[in-house]
Amino acid sequence: MTFSSALVLFAHPDDAEFMCGGTIAAWTREGCEVHYVVITDGSAGNNEPGATREQMRPIREQEQRAAAEVLGVKSVTFLGEVDGLLEVTLDTRRKVTREVRRLRPEVIVAPDPARLWTGNRYINHSDHRAAGMLALTSVMPDAPSRPMFQELEQEGIEPPRTLEEELTTLETLVDEAAPGRISLFGASSGSGVASLYAARHPDRVDRLVLYGSYARGVDLAPPAAREAMLAVIDQHWGLGSRVLADLFLPDATAEERDEFVEFQRRSASREVALASLQAVYDFDSTGHLGDVLAPTLVLHRRNDRAIPFALGKDVARRIRNARFTALEGDDHFPWRGDADAVVRETLAFLGAPVDAAPARSGPGAARLTEREREVLRLVARGQTDAEIAAELVLSTHTVHRHIANIRTKLGVPSRTAAAAWALRNELI
């Protein structure tokens, strides 16, 4: 099995090499990003008369860093606890939790805290057992639980956002808003929680549609690219928001990109943006996709810049009753590009009439704003988004959003159907 990232947590310098050096070398050769966290300072590593802790600390640290470099380890962090005196305390739990939340590894390697002795009369060091217990407590409850060590959030180090948390939110929403059987549409990173809901509640989900989906966030980009993207958001959110705009709006005008940049920065602080992107990378649906029983449609644009096309096909392969449909285009957002194709395929799969027009007095009509009515009049006259934008002094991105909102409020599947509604209701 190949992991994208790993944390090796151990008590003393050289413990990792004795414990799993060969495994670490193999993992780094396969592209795994490995991090070391050394809990103690290694100062009791020499039993010769006259050797002092002060002398040994820099020597042991230098030796450990040199060994890690040989094995291809990405980083080495020392927590500075006194060698030989390691205990499981709230302070040491907090220190380990900080590193687990910061690094967010896919796998943690640590000593077995239950192992007391081995052959050749060797008694397992108490520091090793304490390190193993600290690893276990970080996995549960410390690192994933928001009530644990809340003061770390002031440092911008939050618990990883998990699919289980997202599922709880979706379950509450569905229970309140939609009793009975439902069809779910999950787009982008929302595909993970939609598919998890379908797997956990087969009696509630009639059909499932996934658009621009992926199974594992670590597959979105190589480790170096993910690290660089997180770093630019962390160090300069203004620049990071522009990089994301280029990724999500590949064919947008400069004005559209500027508006999307402003939207991102008004919607999320640097800390929230960083945590959100990290959550996207952390999401892993491979454990539940095989349990989805509902008929599933997986839609993906061939040249999607944000979520590679191959990842959508991978999702479809993992669901037993899935059909994959390729769409043309390079926009990730479903309302950009050929949005009608997304609507047509979705409605056809759900068994809804694709060209159905809404009722003349549908509830959405009264909710249209004056600006939306103005945009709809121009749509009905056959004007393009660019022409509407020029006439109303708006960006084409804003026009896109208005039309998407209009279609949602009117319950119509396409731009053409919205224009037909406007004609029947004498908006022009």
Would you say how long the chain is, in residues?
A: 428
24 and 145 part of one domain: yes
pLDDT for the residue numbered 282: 87
- 221-225, 264-268, 326-330: which range is least confident on average? 264-268
pLDDT reported for residue 149? 93
Answer yes or no: is pLDDT of 263 > 90: no
Render pLDDT for 272-311 as a digit per residue (tens, 0 to 9).
888 889 889 989 999 999 999 999 999 999 999 999 999 9
Q: What is the CATH number of the domain that holds 189?
A: 3.40.50.1820
Average pLDDT over residues 5-26: 95
Specify if 111 maps to a domain.
yes
pLDDT digits (tens, 9 = 90+) for 358-380: 444 444 555 677 788 889 989 88
Within a domain: 390: yes
Same domain, 275 and 373: no
Residue 99 token pair: 């590193």
- Whether residue 395 contacts residue 386, with contact meaning beta carbons closer than 8 Å, is answered with no
What integer pLDDT is reported at residue 359 of this predicted model?
A: 42
- What string of H, E and C letters represents the secondary structure of 118-186? CCCCCECCHHHHHHHHHHHHHHHHHCCCCCCCHHHHHHCCCCCCCHHHHHHHHHHHHHHHCCCCEEEEE
Domain ends where: 250, 265, 280? 280
Closest by Cα among 291, 298, 295 to 316:
298
Q: What is the mean pLDDT of the chain?
A: 89
At residue 299's C-alpha, the angle toward residues 345 and 277, to 5°, is 135
Do both 205 and 338 map to the same domain? Answer: yes
Give me the pLDDT at residue 276, please. Answer: 86
Taking residues 11-22, what's their average pLDDT? 96
Q: State yes or no: pLDDT of 44 exceeds 90.
A: yes
pLDDT of residue 259: 85
Higher-pLDDT residue of 198 and 156 is 198
Alpha-carbon dihedral 318, 323, 328, 334, rounded to 10 degrees: -80
Cα-Cα end-to-end distance for the chain: 63
In a domain, residue 260? The reply is yes
Averaged pLDDT for residues 80-97: 96
- Mean pLDDT comparison of 87-96, 240-249, 359-368, highest-scoring range: 87-96
Is residue 109 over pLDDT 80? Answer: yes
**pLDDT over 90 percentage in the chain:** 57
Within this chain, do residues 175 and 75 fall inside the same structural domain, yes or no?
Answer: no
CA-based diameter of the chain, in Å?
98
pLDDT of residue 356: 47
Instruction: Name the pTM for this structure.
Output: 0.60
pLDDT value of residue 361 = 43
Q: What percent of the chain has pLDDT over 70?
A: 96
d(CA 417, CA 320): 34
Q: CATH number of the domain that 18 lies in?
A: 3.40.50.10320
Angle at 157 between CA 153 and CA 163, to 5 degrees: 100
Beta bridge partners of 267: none
In a domain, 357, yes or no: no
- pLDDT, residue 428, reads 64
- Residue 11 falls within a domain, yes or no? yes
The H-or-E segment that residue 350 falls in is helix 339-350
pLDDT of residue 157: 86
Strands (E), 30-116: 33-40, 75-81, 107-109
The more confident residue out of 370 and 40 is 40
Same domain, 392 and 312: no
Neighbours of 354 (CB within 10 A): 15
Let me know: does 354 contact 412? Beta carbons within 8 Å. Answer: no
- Range of the structural domain that residue 393 is part of: 365-424
| Residue 60, helix vs strand vs coil | helix
Region 250-269: mean pLDDT is: 84
One domain, residues 12 and 65: yes
Q: What DSSP state is assigned to residue 216?
A: B
Same domain, 202 and 255: no
Residues 25 and 36 in one domain: yes
* Mean pLDDT of the region 383-393: 88
Q: What is the pLDDT of residue 1?
A: 60
Q: Is the pLDDT of residue 357 over 50?
A: no
Query: Which residue's structure tokens are 């989900």?
Result: 205
Residue 355 lies in a domain: no
Does residue 388 fall inside a structural domain? yes
State whether 67 and 31 are in the same domain. Answer: yes
Q: What is the CA radius of gyration of the chain?
A: 27
Lowest mean pLDDT among 104-113, 262-271, 335-344: 262-271
- CA pseudo-torsion sign 333, 335, 341, 344: positive
Which region holds residue 249: left if phi is over 0, alpha if psi is between -120 and 50, else beta?
Answer: beta
What average pLDDT score do residues 33-59 get?
Answer: 95
pLDDT beyond 50 at 248: yes
Total tally of structural domains belonging to the chain = 4
pLDDT in tens, 113-165: 988 887 777 889 999 999 999 999 998 889 988 889 999 988 888 887 778 87
Residue 106's pLDDT is 83
Judge if 288 and 276 occupy the same domain: no
Q: Looking at the structure, do residues 131 and 262 belong to the same domain, yes or no?
A: no
Task: Give the pLDDT mean for 188-194.
Answer: 94
Give the whole-angstrom CA distance, residue 67 versus residue 77: 13
At residue 421, the pLDDT reads 83
Q: What is the CATH number of the domain that holds 372?
A: 1.10.10.10
Same domain, 192 and 312: yes
pLDDT at residue 85 tops 80? yes
Amino acid letter at 19? M
Residue 18 domain flag:
yes
Residue 42, token pair as written in the block: 């290694």
Query: Strand 33-40 to strand 75-81: parallel, antiparallel, or no bridges (unpaired)?
Result: parallel
Tokens of 360: 């003349």
* Residue finishing a domain among 295, 321, 350: 350
* Range picked from 230-239, 369-378, 408-417 for highest mean pLDDT: 230-239
Q: What is the reported pLDDT for 360?
A: 40
Last-in-domain residue among 315, 350, 385? 350
What is the predicted pLDDT for the residue at 418? Answer: 85
Tokens 């099995």 found at = 1
Rounded mean pLDDT, 200-225: 95
Cβ–Cβ < 8 Å for 274, 233: yes
